[in-house]
Structures are given as C-alpha cells and as structure tokens.
Amino acid sequence: MDFDNGCCCGCNTADKELAKVNKCPVCGNEGISVSKITVEHLVAGDYRKTIEGDGYRICMNEDCNVVYYNTNSGVKFSKDQVSVPVWFKKDANPKYACYCSKVTEEQVIEAVVKHGAKTVQEVNAITGAMKNSNCKENNPLGVCCHKIIQEAIDKGLNMK
C-alpha cells in the first residue's frame, strides 16, 4: 500500500505535516515520491544496508547532490552513493535515456539526426531501447523511460 499522499490513519492533519517534511533536506526543493524497490535496486553496495521503511523521495534539483532521501528516517543518498548517473542531475555521464537497455540520450539523438527516426518506436528499433523493460528497478524515478526518450527525440528534431 502507498501512503505517500496522506496519513495511513486517514486523519487530515497529516497532510500539512507531510508537505512540510517532504522537501529535500539539503536544497529544500520538493522531491518526487519513489518506490523503495527502486531505491534498493539503485543505491550502491553497502549503503543499501541503511535503507529502511517507506516514504522515499528523489530530489529533482539538477544542482543538488542528493538523489534519494527519506525524511522519516533521516537517511539520504548522494549521487556517488547511487550506482547509475541520474540523467537530470548536472554532469550526469553517461546520460541515459533508457536505463533498462542502457541507451544514452546521445544515441537517441543520433537515431533522430542520422537515421531519421521521429517516434519512440522508430528510436527503439534503431537503438534497442525499451527492450527487456524493468523500469521499476532500473530507472532512478522507477517510471517508464518513454518520456525521457521522447524528450531526447525532441532535442534531436530541433537540431535538424
């Protein structure tokens, strides 16, 4: 069950409380809720042992060093404690568009610019992206990479 958007007992007072504590402990930006499964899969090696409970968030601020944090337990994981570069963070290298098939934004743009792909399907056929999808574990947000690929296609189309 997922209690991210409210208190598990159904009381109204929790909402305000949650909104206040859901901010990144370092930069203060509001984070996006991420499944514990995703955090467990992507946090590197021994740091995994400190993962407890639910309520993980990811900081979407590109300049912030924090990736995952949990304001309930006070645990946070920075970029160097996560096993993959997070594409929207500054200096992410390589910049993956599809984490499951390890296809980079560069490869997607190349498929658009050099091979004339215009849709996600065409890009997938050329790059092999979105094969064996397991986004829940591989994508830092735990969501399908479809949207990131689309953004990379748009970038490529604008370069033409």
* From candidates 33, 61, 73, 78, binder to Zn ion by CB under 5 A: 61
Closest CA to 84 of 145, 9, 139: 139
Half-sphere exposure of residue 61: CA atoms within 13 angstroms, side-chain side:
17
Could you say whether residue 66 binds Zn ion (CB under 5 A)?
yes
Strands (E), the chain: 32-33, 57-58, 66-70, 75-78, 96-98, 103-104
End-to-end CA distance of the chain: 46
Could you say whether residue 27 binds Zn ion (CB under 5 A)?
yes
Could you say whether residue 60 binds Zn ion (CB under 5 A)?
no
Q: Given the rule CB under 5 A, which of 47-55, 63-71, 112-120, 147-155 is the region that contacts Zn ion?
A: 63-71
In the complex, minimum distance from the CB of residue 113 to Zn ion, in angstroms, rounded to a whole number: 33
Nearer to Zn ion, 56 or 111 (CB): 56
Where along the sequence are the contacts to Zn ion (CB under 5 A)? 24, 26-27, 59, 61, 64, 66
